[in-house]
Each structure stands twice: as C-alpha cells, then as structure tokens.
A = this chain, B = another copy of it.
Amino acid sequence: MKEKRKIGRGVCVIGAGMSKFGMFPDKDSKELFVESFKETVESVDKGFDPNDIDALYLGNFSNDYFVHQGHWAPIIADAIGHTPKPATRTECACAASALAFKEGVFAIASGFYDIVLVGGVEEMSKCNTAEVTEGLAMAAFPSELVAGFTFPGIFGAIGSAYFAKYGCTKEDLFNITIKSHNNAKLNPKAQLPFTIRDMMNQKIAKAKKKGRTVPFWNDEKEFLRDPKANPVVAYPMSLYDCCPISDGASSMILCSEEIARRFTDNPLYVIGIGQGSGGGLQSPTNDNITSLEATRFAAAEAYSMAGLSPKDIQFSEVHDCFSMAEVIDIEDLGFFKHGEAYKAINEGQTKLDGSMPINTSGGLKCKGHPVGATGTGQLHEVWEQLRGEAGERQIPNKDLKIGAAHNLGGTGGTCTFTILERR
C-alpha cells in the first residue's frame, strides 16, 4: 500500500434516503428503489433537480438468483428517468452498495462526472428461508460450501473460535442483541423495531390470551437463554444473533466538493475510503478466523486517506449480519483491542449513550439486511447522525463530526470502511 492514499478532487454527500427495510412481497426492486430515490432527492436542503445526475452506481448482490432477473442498473435507471445516462452495477456480496459508493467517489474524484447517484437494492422475500440461505451461500468461498458451511455456520465457527480464545460466552453476546433491538425501536425504517423486552412481554401476553402456560422470564437475558424462545441456529449463533431476510433500497447523492454548498450548507465530506479482499476462512494462509484481514486492510486504507486513527471515529455502523460479526468488526477496525470488544460491550461502551456507539440504526440485525442495499443504508445512518437528524436515536451529548461505516461481503471476501466528516 502507498504511504498515503488520496484522491485528486474532494467529494461530498449532499443527500441520502432509504426505503423502509422489511419483507414486502408485494413490492419489486423498482418500487423499493424509487421510494428511496424520492426521499434522497427531497433530502437535499436547497433543492435538487434529478436531471443533474451524471451517472448511477447500483449495488445488488443477486437479484439474478432471488427474482431471476439480471442487468439491474439500467432497469433502475429507467425507473427513475435517468436513461440514457450511464448506470453501473457493483457486486461484492453484502458489500455491493458500499462499492457503489466508492465507485461514485472515484467517478467524481476522477473529474469525469460531477454529480453521481449511488445506492443499492435487494428483493429477497420472494424466496423462502431455505432458498435465501442457499442463495446467500453463493457469497461464501467455494471451499467453504464444499465443507458444508452456510453463513450461520460460518459465523458460528468464528464464534466458537473466539469463545475458546478469549473466554467470551453467549451471555456476552446477549448484550449486543439487546442493544441493537433498543436502537432499532427508535428507528422508523427498521424491520424489527422492538426491544427484546417488548418481544418477551408480547409472548407472555399471547400465551395468557390463548390460555396456555405462561412462559416465565424475569428479564431479557432469561428470554434469550431459553432455547424455546431463542433456538440455536448454528451454535453459538441463536435466532436473535442473526439478521432477518429483508427487502429494501437505499441511496445517496454525491458531488464534487467545489459545488456541494450549492445544494446544502451541511454537506458531509468523504474523508476516508478503503477496501480489502480475503481468501475465505479456509484459506491456507489464514491462521486466525477471529479476525478478518480484509477489514484490517480496508481500515488501514481509509485511515491513511483521512489521516486519522481509530480513536478519532466518534461512532460507527458495522456489519453485524450476526452478533459475532459485530465483535470482530469493532476489533479489526481498531476501536477495541483483539479479545476485548466483548468486555467493552458488557460495560455499555457501544450503546447509544456509550463512549463508542455502534450500530445506532439497529444494525443489520434489527434494521434489516436487504443485501445490496446495506452498504449505503449504513452510510444513511451516518448521514442522519452527523447532521443531527436521527430523531429519538440521536447520539446524545456529543458534538458529532466524524462517523464511519464498515461493510462486509461473504466471509471477509470483501470488506470496506468509509469515513464521513461534517465540517
């Protein structure tokens, strides 16, 4: 890697939006993206004419598989009235739209385009759970598939290794689940906008109503400990450690730094971008499955460009497809030392009012994970937090200037890290 990563022309975010995330079997990808696009255009403070968009970058993992239709970039371009201008799809599994964002930054930084729309979409709920699991498994390494792994199994294996190495237990992970649900309850776009306590009380009320034996749980941890309430999916990953199946879209408008203030007095500056790749958990060169080299590489690139270190990041969205992923992400990004993140989580440091808020949106776990929409969806949360527009889940007591998002594809086949700044 070069000593210092840099781009020749600064790039800003001037608008951001997203559809609600959830299961919408009666909506297609076009409708979902149009919903996001409209909100994105309306979010531009001083108004925005969509005809000024020079190019579109669209992240999508595999609508090819989920709805048997490919070549989505022009379909979406057509749906938003963007043709004949260029539209390009990016794909690296669950990191698809973080790469749409990165390519949008490059396209502007290169000088070729001035204003670019970036975003992502995925339409998963037309498939059943088994079909989705099989489709997502296409994002793993071939060697992992041959070994019988699906994604819950992969993150289960990572969890077991981490537990053995550092003494973490399932009890520690409960604090991630509880925190993510608490945050999601405050997010109107979230797929699972309820706390674990809400779910617990709802189940108790339902049992009472039906005259069944009322389940007895004193608190959320007892609920999460109960294998009937929270069955094991792939040990140590149980149901409430796993993100749901989702449909959704997200999008942002980027432009060159020199014209950003035409559109808003409060643009966000793209100060760090980074990306790494990896050869899978079973790669002969991988002697440690509790850390992803691709995340570490992506972070190093982004920190290099920003001239920052982990301590300068005030909050971050990270890729928590499973609770275990959140633990290793925040270690690999340098927010906590290896083997210590779970202790910091237990201390409440990653809560909304903690010293290092993580996944204030509810994360993939509770906001939802429409794969191709997740990358720019995470950056949407950074946008709202940095601009003080996160409503009830606004990070308290902090003058927010610098936030980040970490997106992960496959088993660390692709990882990205993006740092935004409010000036």
Contacts and interface: CB of A to CB of B under 8 A. Distances in A.
Interface string A124-142: 0000000000000011111
A86 B276 contact: yes
B110 A70 contact: no
Interface string A46-86: 00000000111000011011001111011101100011111
A93 interface: yes
Residue from A2, A92, A114 with most neighbouring chain B CB atoms (10 Å)? A92
Residue from A9, A88, A110, A296 with most neighbouring chain B CB atoms (10 Å)? A110
A88 to B, nearest CB: 5
B114 A2 contact: yes
Copy number of this protein in the oligomer? 2
Contacts of A64: 62, 64-65, 138
Interface string A82-106: 1111111111110000010011011
A7 interface: yes
A202 interface: no
A84 B142 contact: no
Contact of A279 (B83, B105, B410): B83
Contact of A110 (B69, B93, B110, B298): B110
A387 interface: no
A319 B75 CA distance: 21
Contact of A8 (B111, B138, B296): B111
A279 B70 contact: no
Interface string A260-276: 00000000000001011
A187 interface: no
B90 A88 contact: yes
Interface string A295-330: 011100100010000000000000000000000000
A305 B278 CA distance: 36
Given A8-B9, A61-B70, A111-B8, A280 B106 contact: no
A7 B409 CA distance: 30
A132 B412 CA distance: 31
A280 B55 CA distance: 18
17 contacts: A8-B110, A64-B138, A71-B413, A73-B277, A73-B414, A77-B277, A78-B280, A83-B278, A84-B277, A86-B276, A87-B277, A88-B90, A105-B110, A106-B106, A109-B110, A109-B111, A112-B273
Given A74-B413, A78-B277, 19 more contacts: A1-B54, A6-B112, A7-B112, A8-B109, A8-B111, A61-B70, A71-B91, A71-B138, A73-B92, A74-B279, A74-B280, A74-B410, A78-B278, A78-B280, A83-B283, A87-B414, A88-B99, A106-B107, A106-B112
